[in-house]
A and B are shown apart, each in its own frame.
Chain A
Amino acid sequence: MALPDQDTALALLRQMLRIRRFEDRCAQLYSAGKIRGFLHLYNGEEAIAAGIIPLLDAKDAILATYREHGHALARGVDMGAVMAEMYGKQEGCSRGRGGSMHLFDAGTRFYGGNAIVAGALPLAVGLALADKLQNRAHVSVCFFGEGAAAEGEFHESLNLAALWQLPVLFVCENNLYAMGTALVRSEAETDIHLKARSYGLHSAAVDGMDLLAVREAATVAIGHVRAGNGPYLLECHTYRFRAHSMFDSQLYRDKAEVAQWQARDPIDLYERELLNLGLIEAGSRAALEAEVEAEVEAAVAFAEAGTWEPVEQLTRDVYTQPAA
């Protein structure tokens, strides 16, 4: 596959940095009590969202899990609106009704933000069915963790998508732990992409820490789906550098393992690759970091300045029209 041009290469580095800094800032704000509820951070997995989402068209649909800040940012959901959502402000992308786990943005066809581990897979099948029945060459992309493979909905959805040859790209972000349970402790077959093949889906596995590898694999996968060849499952091997959520003391994995994966930080790996290829210069990342920090701080300021929805509006948006 052709390497990205210089502008794209830089944009992808910038995208990963945006996600990383956003997540780190969220962790700080959580400790400061500004963000509450469950907070699941994406550190370490940035190459997947940044490697896949920029390849999509504006009309393609995206669905994700409760660890979806990175996907939302890569999709172009406004960072201020995402941060305001973390705060629970009505300027948030879900009016403060969803929080960290339920980011929505209809304008960019970002359909959440689903906190039920395999809950978005059937929705992706349905969105793809709507595209197929209305003769639209769109792709519905559903991101989920490897823990979802243990749920019946994963198997039902793959079967249905293959049976009806629907334009769905299933992206498994295999970070090896479903909450605190290691994949080897929960699955008899630990290669998720092999499960897909038993349902008749095309599938592949890729190093999820290597942005260019993800981008290359995703180009193939998206091309396959968009050409009308049916659904595809892409398994990305990755690792979350932080705990499952802010309440997790990580007693289930040892520090050596974490350190081993952190040595393959996807941002550092990509930066080194770009330097080797001569696509960036030594100071390029620092300049991007400064830009990104300014954007994150502006998002925090926007969230801080946001307002609380009046309690009188508590029952709005339960139904399209107010219930009689």
Chain B
Amino acid sequence: MSAPQKITYREALREALRAALAADPRVFLMGEDVGRYGGCYAVSKGLLAEFGEARIRDTPLSESAFTGAGIGAALGGLRPIVEIMTVNFSLLALDQILNNAATLRHMSGGQVSVPLVIRMATGAGRQLAAQHSHSLEGWYAHIPGIKVVAPATVTDARHMLAAALADPDPVIVFEHVMLYNAEGELEPVDAVPLTGAAVRRPGNDLTLITYGGSLPKVLTAAEQLAADGIEAEVVDLRCLRPLDDATIMASAGKTRRAVIVDEGWRSGSFAAEISARIVEQAFYDLDAPPARVCSAEVPIPYAKHLEDAALPQVTDIVAAARGVLGRG
């Protein structure tokens, strides 16, 4: 058997796009700089030459119009992939995402559906300051009618796009900016489901719950804890809507302690939702209140030391883990 292939998250996404475009003539990619420039984060580099301008479509800086056009194209029988440069810019398209993509099926009594995939970058860590660094995927996970996924590994990045395209409803794929250069082993699988959390590391002492760009930090924290004799189980949510309660509760019920790590702001965060669900569903199994490690309540700053201080870091995760174990 050959050794597992190591590729970057960016390459995994590009491979996923290429495979999707090759497999189905209805699939096309549209967004700012996706064509001639090769993608703001170089994900679509080379695809214009391979698939042509009709299917790799550069758009004006018009998030609302091209996202809405993606919805219309989906209604018209195509399988559009809309790329939005960063989650901050997606707010310009929020009307189309919430009022149309997420809503048309229900509002029409089930007559139309919107098989649209929207990809966008999220998260901080590249000193891009407040208007390019936020983590708003929890806001999108609030909305019924869409699915929200956040692949954290190269294998998920490679395969979740295909699952998203096969889904008859709109799916938003969040790609954390700090993952694009990350290398990982591409597991020899043919498909990854769109929904369902994954246990990335087994353990019995506490559960660390996270997703997307925080997963590498959480795995590092788990290793540091292991060096101290604490075995953390790491749950990667992968899909924020619908949420895989069963995996979360099975793990939290087993370890009796949970720490949720989320790069969103603490107040009203997605971590707050996870925490509430654990309390609602597994309260009597717990030995400690669930803890949260979130971003500081501040627009993400530019300066490196301040940006680092605002974000969940490995030391914060280790400290929170020790806290729920009473070993702080």
B-contacting residues of A (Cβ < 8 Å)? 61, 92-98, 102, 104-106, 111-114, 116, 119, 121-131, 133-134, 140, 152-153, 156-157, 159-160, 163, 316-321, 323-324
Distance (whole angstroms) from the CB of B41 to the closest CB of chain A: 23
Distance (whole angstroms) from the CB of B118 to the closest CB of chain A: 13
In the bound complex, residues from chain B placing their C-beta under 8 Å from that of A93 are 109
Contact present for A324 and B242 (CB under 8 Å):
yes
Residue among B67, B77, B242 with max Cβ neighbours from chain A (10 Å):
B77
Check A130/B96 contact, CB under 8 A, given A104-B107, A104-B109, A104-B112: no
Q: Among the listed stretches B8-16, B57-65, B119-127, B149-157, which one makes contact with chain A, having 4 or more residues with CB under 8 Å of it?
A: B57-65
Can you list 30 A-B contacts (CB < 8 A)? A97-B109, A102-B107, A104-B108, A104-B109, A106-B112, A111-B112, A112-B107, A116-B99, A119-B68, A121-B65, A122-B69, A123-B68, A124-B72, A126-B75, A127-B73, A127-B75, A128-B76, A129-B76, A130-B78, A133-B78, A134-B78, A140-B72, A156-B62, A157-B65, A157-B68, A160-B62, A317-B106, A318-B105, A323-B242, A324-B195
Contact present for B68 and A126 (CB under 8 Å):
yes
Bound complex: CA A126 to CA B110 (Å): 20
Contact present for B112 and A126 (CB under 8 Å):
no
Bound complex: CA A319 to CA B76 (Å): 18
Distance (whole angstroms) from the CB of A317 to the closest CB of chain B: 4
| B54 lies within 8 A of chain A by Cβ | yes
| B88 lies within 8 A of chain A by Cβ | no
Contact present for A320 and B113 (CB under 8 Å):
yes
Contact present for A98 and B109 (CB under 8 Å):
yes
Choice from A105, A131, A159 contacting B62 with Cβ under 8 Å: A159
Contact present for A156 and B242 (CB under 8 Å):
no
| B2 lies within 8 A of chain A by Cβ | no
Contact present for A163 and B60 (CB under 8 Å):
yes
What residue in chain B is nearest A105 (Cβ atoms)?
B111
Choice from B59, B74, B112 contacting A160 with Cβ under 8 Å: B59
0 or 1 for each of B203-241: is its CB under 8 Å from A? (1 = yes)? 000000000000000000000000000000000000000
Bound complex: CA A114 to CA B112 (Å): 14
In the bound complex, residues from chain B placing their C-beta under 8 Å from that of A323 are 242
Contact present for B68 and A320 (CB under 8 Å):
no
Choice from A96, A123, A131, A321 contacting B100 with Cβ under 8 Å: A123
What residue in chain B is nearest A95 (Cβ atoms)?
B109
Contact present for A131 and B76 (CB under 8 Å):
yes
Contact present for A94 and B108 (CB under 8 Å):
yes
Contact present for A126 and B70 (CB under 8 Å):
yes
Choice from A105, A125, A156 contacting B72 with Cβ under 8 Å: A125
The size of the chain B interface, using a CB distance under 8 A, is: 42
Residue among B54, B75, B96 with max Cβ neighbours from chain A (10 Å):
B75
Check A111/B95 contact, CB under 8 A, given A106-B111, A106-B112, A119-B100: no
Check A122/B65 contact, CB under 8 A, given A129-B73, A163-B60, A317-B106: yes
With A129-B78, A156-B62, A316-B110 given, can you name 19 additional A-B contacts, CB distance below 8 Å?
A97-B107, A98-B109, A106-B111, A111-B112, A119-B68, A122-B64, A123-B100, A126-B74, A126-B76, A126-B80, A127-B73, A127-B76, A128-B76, A130-B74, A130-B78, A153-B95, A160-B66, A320-B168, A324-B242
What residue in chain A is nearest B76 (Cβ atoms)?
A130
| B104 lies within 8 A of chain A by Cβ | yes
Bound complex: CA A124 to CA B69 (Å): 7
In the bound complex, residues from chain A placing their C-beta under 8 Å from that of B144 are 318
In the bound complex, residues from chain B placing their C-beta under 8 Å from that of A98 are 107-109
What residue in chain A is nearest B70 (Cβ atoms)?
A126
- Which 5 pairs across A and B sit closest by C-beta, in order of nearness? A126-B72, A122-B68, A130-B76, A95-B109, A156-B65
Bound complex: CA A323 to CA B241 (Å): 9
Residue among B76, B95, B110, B169 with max Cβ neighbours from chain A (10 Å):
B76
Contact present for A320 and B76 (CB under 8 Å):
no
Bound complex: CA A61 to CA B76 (Å): 9
What residue in chain B is nearest A85 (Cβ atoms)?
B109
In the bound complex, residues from chain B placing their C-beta under 8 Å from that of A131 are 76
| B253 lies within 8 A of chain A by Cβ | no
| B145 lies within 8 A of chain A by Cβ | yes
In the bound complex, residues from chain B placing their C-beta under 8 Å from that of A123 are 68-69, 71-72, 75, 100
Contact present for A127 and B72 (CB under 8 Å):
yes
In the bound complex, residues from chain A placing their C-beta under 8 Å from that of B54 are 133
In the bound complex, residues from chain B placing their C-beta under 8 Å from that of A160 are 59-60, 62, 65-66, 69
In the bound complex, residues from chain B placing their C-beta under 8 Å from that of A119 are 68, 95-96, 99-100
In the bound complex, residues from chain A placing their C-beta under 8 Å from that of B62 are 156, 159-160
Contact present for B168 and A130 (CB under 8 Å):
no
In the bound complex, residues from chain B placing their C-beta under 8 Å from that of A94 are 107-109, 111
0 or 1 for each of B265-307: is its CB under 8 Å from A? (1 = yes)? 0000000000000000000000000000000000000000000
What residue in chain B is nearest A132 (Cβ atoms)?
B54
Bound complex: CA A317 to CA B112 (Å): 9
Distance (whole angstroms) from the CB of A91 to the closest CB of chain B: 10
Bound complex: CA A159 to CA B59 (Å): 10
What residue in chain A is nearest B195 (Cβ atoms)?
A324
0 or 1 for each of B84-103: is its CB under 8 Å from A? (1 = yes)? 00000000000110011000
